[in-house]
Amino acid sequence: MATQTTPPRFADITVGQAIPALVKRPTGLQLFRYSAVTWNAHLIHYDDAYARSEGYPAVLVQSHLHGAFLIQAALDWAGPGARLRRFRWENRHLAVPGDVLTCDGRVTATRTEDGFGVVECELFEHNQDGKLCAPGWAVIGFPLTQGESA
Amino acid sequence: MSGDLFEQTYERAKAVVGQVHQLPLGRMSKKEFQRFAYACGDVSPRYVDDDAARAEGFPEAVAPPLFLSGVMGWEPGPAEEDLRPDGTGKSETVGLPLEGLRLMGAGQDIELHHDVVDGMDIVAHISLDGVDLKQGRSGTLLLVRVLRRYVDGEGREVLTCRESFIAR
């Protein structure tokens, strides 16, 4: 889990502000369950021998699971009431069970729009060797509290 | 895959850019999207607790953002004999003429317009947004861009997903 427990108020969010790190340690069991619920029978995600026969070090973390990790980092930080409006990510480097994936980021823009506070942020998922596995970008809507301009 | 087959597939795919194929996903199930949340390791209350979700302003527990665009198959099948040796379905080409290729997800760009909740009936409107034939480090590949618009029973677009695949 991310270390932050108090969600930020929109008025206090500034460009450059860090999004706290969320550390994920995917396991073979997690990959199997993710394949099951997404009806993805590709052996590369749950059959180690098969994955190695394709030249990979072990079974691979699913593309979309990298995205889910980045979303969790962003929304854990944003807190209750915040809404993800847009999100994108790219898969750049593979990850396998046992990897330690650290998801964090920083705020790149803030504005008010249609009665909401809107925050854009860039996101990063790095492995334990510092390799960038998945960069991402999110737009999050925040409820405006009393005293915050709409 | 040989170079000729890549060329043929590229030409076949180019010919259907922009054509829309509809795929009914059926009725959304809270249990299914909550299982997705557990599998992701993200059991935020908004996904798994109706009361907590309402306290956050949602109508009830909502599906995680990547549920619609992350589930690979919405049909009961395919039967095991219809899977390739690597476990992928022979028809797993997102409704596009890419038979014979293996698709690897390269990332998505999603826009969330409405919450996805239990009981919603969703149809995916799928089209090929573009295709490029490229030479990668490990040989020829196709870069395939797919547009999926997820529409509910009231005709509202609940999610737009632009996904890139590398096809080898």
Q: Which of B40, B55, B73 is facing A68, going by the closest CB pair?
A: B40
Average pLDDT over residues A4-15: 88
pLDDT band for position B1 (cuts 50, 70, 90): low
Q: With CB atoms and an 8 Å threshold, state whether A90 touches B107.
A: yes
Find, among B89, B96, B102, the residue nearest to B139 by Cα: B102
Q: Which of B56, B86, B110 is facing A80, going by the closest CB pair?
A: B56
Average pLDDT over residues B127-134: 92
Q: Does some domain include residue A149?
A: no
Q: Which residues in chain B are closer than 8 Å to A80, comparing Cβ atoms?
A: 45-46, 55-56
Q: Which residues in chain A are closer than 8 Å to B31, comparing Cβ atoms?
A: none
pLDDT band for position B104 (cuts 50, 70, 90): confident
pLDDT tens profile A56-91: 999 999 999 999 999 999 999 999 989 999 999 999
A-B CB pairs within 8 A amount to: 104
Residue B9 has pLDDT above 50, yes or no: yes
Average pLDDT over residues B99-111: 85
State which residues form the domain around A121.
Answer: 11-143
Find, among A54, A50, A58, A49, the residue nearest to A26 by Cα: A58
Q: Which of A33, A44, A143 is facing B86, going by the closest CB pair?
A: A44
- In terms of Cβ atoms closer than 10 Å to its own Cβ (0-12, 13-18, 19+), residue B160 is middle
Residue B25, C-beta contacts closer than 8 angstroms, at least 6 positions apart: B68, B74, B122, B123, B124, B150
pLDDT tens profile B19-45: 999 999 999 999 999 999 999 999 999
pLDDT of B2: 60
pLDDT of A1: 46
Residue B115 has pLDDT above 80, yes or no: yes
pLDDT band for position A43 (cuts 50, 70, 90): very high
pLDDT of A3: 47
- Given the structure tokens 């925040």, which residue do they identify? A142
Q: Which residues in chain B are closer than 8 Å to A88, comparing Cβ atoms?
A: 107-110
Residue B89 token pair: 């379905």
Per the model's pLDDT, the better-predicted residue between B48 and A147 turns out to be B48
Q: Does some domain include residue A150?
A: no
What distance in Å separates residue A117's CA from the closest CA in chain B? 15
What is the overall mean pLDDT for chain B? 90
pLDDT of B4: 74
Q: With CB atoms and an 8 Å threshold, state whether A80 touches B109.
A: no
Q: Which residues in chain A are closer than 8 Å to B72, comparing Cβ atoms?
A: 38-40
Q: Does some domain include residue A61?
A: yes
Q: With CB atoms and an 8 Å threshold, state whether B111 touches A42.
A: no
What distance in Å separates residue B105's CA from the closest CA in chain A? 6
Residue A10 token pair: 């929109």
Q: Does some domain include residue A1?
A: no
pLDDT tens profile A112-150: 998 999 999 999 999 999 999 999 999 999 999 766 655
Q: Does some domain include residue A126?
A: yes
Percent of chain A with pLDDT over 70: 93
Residue B68, C-beta contacts closer than 8 angstroms, at least 6 positions apart: B25, B116, B122, B124, B150, B158, B159, B161
Q: Over the range A76-94, which residues count as b (16 or more CB within 10 Å of their CB) and which as e?
A: bbbbbebbbbbbbbbbeeb
CB atoms within 10 A of CB A57: 13
What distance in Å separates residue B108's CA from the closest CA in chain A? 5
Residue B93 has pLDDT above 70, yes or no: no
Percent of chain B with pLDDT over 90: 65
Residue B122 has pLDDT above 70, yes or no: yes
Q: Does some domain include residue A82?
A: yes
Q: Which residues in chain A are closer than 8 Å to B48, comparing Cβ atoms?
A: none
Q: Does some domain include residue A2?
A: no
Residue A31: CATH number of its domain? 3.10.129.10
pLDDT of B92: 58
Q: How far is CA A94 from CA A59, A121, B104, in A?
A: 10, 23, 12
Residue B57 token pair: 């302003």
Instruction: Tally the domains of chain A.
Output: 1
pLDDT of B96: 67
Q: Does some domain include residue A20?
A: yes
